[in-house]
Amino acid sequence: MNDFVLFMTLTSVMGLSIFLSLPVVYSKRAQGRWAIGLNAAAIGILIFLLADIFSDVSGIIYPSTATGASYVANTTYAVAFGVAFVVAFLGLYFVDNLPSRRAAVDSPSTGGQAVVSMALIIAIGIGLQNLTEGLVFGVNWTAGNLGILAVVFLGFFLQNISEGFPIASPFLGAPQHRNISLMVGLFLVGGLPTLIGGAIGYHWSNNMFIVIFDALAVGAIAYVILPMLRVAFRPLESREASIRRNQIVYLGVMAGFALGFVVNAI
């Protein structure tokens, strides 16, 4: 088999493994307390992704020296990361708060727009992160690092499965706005960039490219975590119900973070 065809086949398996979480998302049990728990786990996964993405790019921003790790940042990369983060975060904020969009979201007839918008923002953030994952896979493939490739493939494959939950999380509390074609489209937004990044990494690699797209992913994910937390802790009809819900949220966030850590460590 042609080397590039084999590479893209494996990259496709890795990137589209996100669809393996679809049966769980559509399970009839994904409602009530299960919905609260899955939403909380999605937040935990996103928090882990923030740490994971920055750990990947920190080696570029803080390059090692002959004596070991360095805490002195490369100014060019640090500024590029900061600017890209602000662009992603504030860009999403301003788009999300356009008067015309606010009016549409507040309208009862278009209440699903807020749900879809949040899911799309999460999918874009995860897609940006997966683009750099594909880039890393492509660079190691062309370098012939077989041992690293096996670890990278398995780690990204498992991690991408867990990334389906954050994308679907806004719909868990609003199943009336969910349909299979929409969900497939959102999962493609999150998974397909792995293939794009892989193709780029196979032919070309650049540290600045990795820094910028990782920063855009961090900015997008950081932005969307805030409204997810607001929804997770919104007041309920009674104090007892709020306490029970908060317990589920705390445990769910911890479980989601642990899941992200475990699959990334395999």
DSSP 15-62: HGGGGGGHHHHT-TTSSTHHHHHHHHHHHHHHHHHHHHHHHHHHHHHS
* Residue-level pLDDT at 110: 46
Task: Specify which residues 68 forms β-bridges with.
Answer: 65
* Residue-level pLDDT at 133: 83
* Residue-level pLDDT at 266: 62
* Residue-level pLDDT at 127: 87
Domain count, the chain: 1
* Residue-level pLDDT at 71: 73
CB 111 within 8 A of CB 102: no
* Residue-level pLDDT at 13: 92
Print burial letters for 63-86: b (CB count within 10 Å at least 16), e (below 16). eeeeeeeeeeebeebeebbeebbe
* Residue-level pLDDT at 100: 57
Write the pLDDT tens digit of every residue in 102-154: 555 544 444 467 778 888 888 888 888 888 888 888 888 887 776 667 777 87
Give the DSSP H/E element, type plus range, for residue 154: helix 146-162
Q: For residue 90, give its domain range.
A: 3-265
Task: Specify which residues 134 forms β-bridges with.
Answer: none
Q: Which two tokens stand for residue 145?
A: 């690092």
Spans of the chain below 70 pLDDT: 1, 28-32, 65-70, 98-112, 146-148, 173-178, 266
Q: Nearest 5 degrees, angle CA 163-CA 94-CA 133?
A: 30
Place of tokens 């119900």: 241
Closest alpha carbon to 159 in 140, 136, 143: 136
